[in-house]
A and B are shown apart, each in its own frame.
Chain A
């Protein structure tokens, strides 16, 4: 056993200082790692936000299956059909099963109800027979793209009023029930069309139409 010498003590001190340096270095590396991984996470998040949506969907699905979330609930939607008595659109409320799903799926469900037509006697349908809904998607600017099959044109009777009532029954139904959809663009077989039957311009995106839901009759 060697006696402790001042020299040794300085060596110990040095060691201690060295140790301190290592700890400092260690902390710095961990900090750098945290920053880098946070940066990476942020980057992937910005690059594809769909992944987050998918993850959230998966999460809600898991929650649903484990019974932590609410069970199948009925949600009330407002469907816009043509009024027989008045020169306007009129609302029929209907309850649909809301399965805690995405906006896309809910819009799909609402439009399927619109295609089925009204149940009230004083209303008439607005979507031509045999028309199928192909898809709906929402972009990050709140523009909803609703894609119908070609029967939308083929079986449409035409006319400015007829086209107006078809377009706004779809647009008003979507924008009224789903406020996150600001505007609606109509597609036929996945493509933009100039008009349905040669009257109204369907190259634009449509917003909710307030005036059509009242009678514009001037007496």
Chain B
């Protein structure tokens, strides 16, 4: 290899190479370390609870259209964001959303996010519309497995679909706490509890509940759900259920 008139030896090239390596990694290193060590600020003795809130649908999947321009994916994101903003910083709760904008998140990934975060609670939010009264209805779902499926998973061990089967007792308790909070809050005319094979809950490795906010597609129902205050009330009701669950968890060590 020649450079001008001089011929550069291999030892010269090697030193150059080493210098470049040093510049790239050695110099950058202190900055990397600094940014990595920063967020360990909370050294409280109290446990921080991790809550994962899943806003149903998103991106190409708009979910239910309650009326022109009023889509389920936007409503679920709005409720999730309102809930996150309602949590006071000193509450000891870290809230993570499965999506922070309008984009696709595959169904399996939603529970996977909660598992990855080692979340203490998982709440999935959905909306639906119906034609008949009541105007405002809350349906609280937990996962369901048949006796055969329970037996199969106990013999064959865990698979993705059967993970939630180990948390059904706690999930049921969590669901009842949400139910009670919603009934006290008075935002809904009826509150119902159901067990069903809800896809998004099946892979969750923690107490997991899905809520479906049913709004009648009547002028009354649409007016209600379009109002900011009413949506804030829903967020408050759901958050109260979560706070009740955390309180109960703290009381039983």
Which residues of A are in contact with B by a Cβ distance under 8 Å?
A: 84-85, 87, 124, 157-162, 164, 194-195, 198-201, 203-204, 207, 211, 216-218
In this assembly, does B248 line the interface, its C-beta being within 8 Å of a C-beta of chain A? no
Q: How many A-B residue pairs have CB under 8 A?
A: 75
Provide the residues of chain B in CB contact with A203, threshold 8 Å.
161
In the complex, besides A158-B63, A198-B199, 7 extra interface pairs with C-beta distance below 8 angstroms are: A158-B128, A194-B107, A198-B57, A199-B198, A201-B202, A204-B197, A216-B192
Which residue from A124, A160, A207, A218 sits with its C-beta under 8 Å from B210? A160
Chain B's closest residue to A195 (CB) is: B199
Within 8 A of A (CB), among B174-220: 179, 190-200, 202, 210, 212, 214
In the complex, whether B158 has a CB less than 8 A from a CB of chain A is: no
- Which residues in A have their C-beta under 8 angstroms from that of B129? 157, 159
How far does the alpha carbon of A194 sit from the alpha carbon of B197 in the complex, in Å?
11
Q: Which of B63, B131, B192, B197 is in CB contact (< 8 Å) with A87?
A: B192
Assess whether B251 is interfacial by the CB under 8 Å rule.
Answer: no
Task: Say yes or no: is B151 at the interface (Cβ < 8 Å to chain A).
Answer: no
Residues of B within 8 A of A194 (CB): 107, 199
Q: Which chain A residues border B127 with CB–CB below 8 Å?
A: 159
Cα separation A85 to B132 with both chains bound (whole Å)? 8
Taking CB atoms, residues of chain A closer than 8 Å to B141 are 160
CB distance from A66 to the nearest CB of B (A): 45
Interface centre among A160, A194, A211 (most CB of B within 10 A): A160
- Tell me if B21 counts as interface (CB < 8 A to partner A): no
What are the 8 closest A-B residue pairs judged by CB atoms, nearest first?
A159-B128, A201-B197, A201-B199, A84-B132, A160-B212, A164-B196, A195-B199, A87-B192
Pairwise interchain contact B131-A199, C-beta atoms closer than 8 A: no
- A195's partner among B56, B107, B128, B132 (CB-CB below 8 A) is B107
Chain A residues positioned under 8 Å from B63 (CB to CB): 158, 198
Contact B192 A160 (CB under 8 A): no
CB atoms of A159 and B126 under 8 A apart: yes
Say whether B64 faces chain A, with CB atoms less than 8 Å apart.
Answer: yes
Nearest CB in chain A: distance from B249 CB, A: 23
In the complex, what residues of A have CB within 8 A of residue B161's CB? 201, 203
Considering only CB atoms, which chain B residue lies closest to A211 in the complex? B195
Given A194-B199, A201-B199: A160 touches B131 (CB 8 Å cut-off): no
Contacting A at CB under 8 A, from B126-156, are 126-129, 131-132, 137, 139, 141, 146, 149
CA distance A201 to B159 in the complex (A): 15
Residues in A with CB closer than 8 Å to B226 are none
Q: What are some 18 contacts across the A-B interface (CB < 8 A)?
A: A84-B132, A85-B132, A124-B131, A124-B132, A157-B128, A160-B128, A160-B139, A161-B139, A194-B199, A198-B199, A200-B196, A200-B198, A201-B161, A201-B202, A204-B146, A211-B195, A216-B192, A217-B190
Contact at B64–A158, with CB atoms within 8 Å? yes
Residue pair A218, B128 in contact (C-beta under 8 Å): no
Asked if B61 CB lies within 8 Å of chain A CBs, one says yes
A159 touches B202 (CB 8 A): no
Q: How far is the CB of A182 from chain B (nearest CB, A)?
A: 10
Choose from B146, B179, B199 the contact partner of A200 (Cβ within 8 Å): B199
> Chain B residues with Cβ under 8 A from A84's Cβ?
132
A160 — which chain B residues lie within 8 A by C-beta?
Answer: 126, 128, 139, 141, 194, 196, 198, 210, 212
Within B23-68, which residues are at the interface with A (CB < 8 Å)? 56-57, 61, 63-64
Contacts of A158 in B (CB 8 A): 63-64, 128
Query: Among A198, A217, A218, which residue has its beta carbon within 8 angstroms of that of B61?
Result: A198
A172–B48 CA distance with the chains assembled, in angstroms:
45
Q: Which B residues are in CB contact (< 8 Å) with A85?
A: 132
Complex Cα distance A200/B200, Å?
Answer: 8
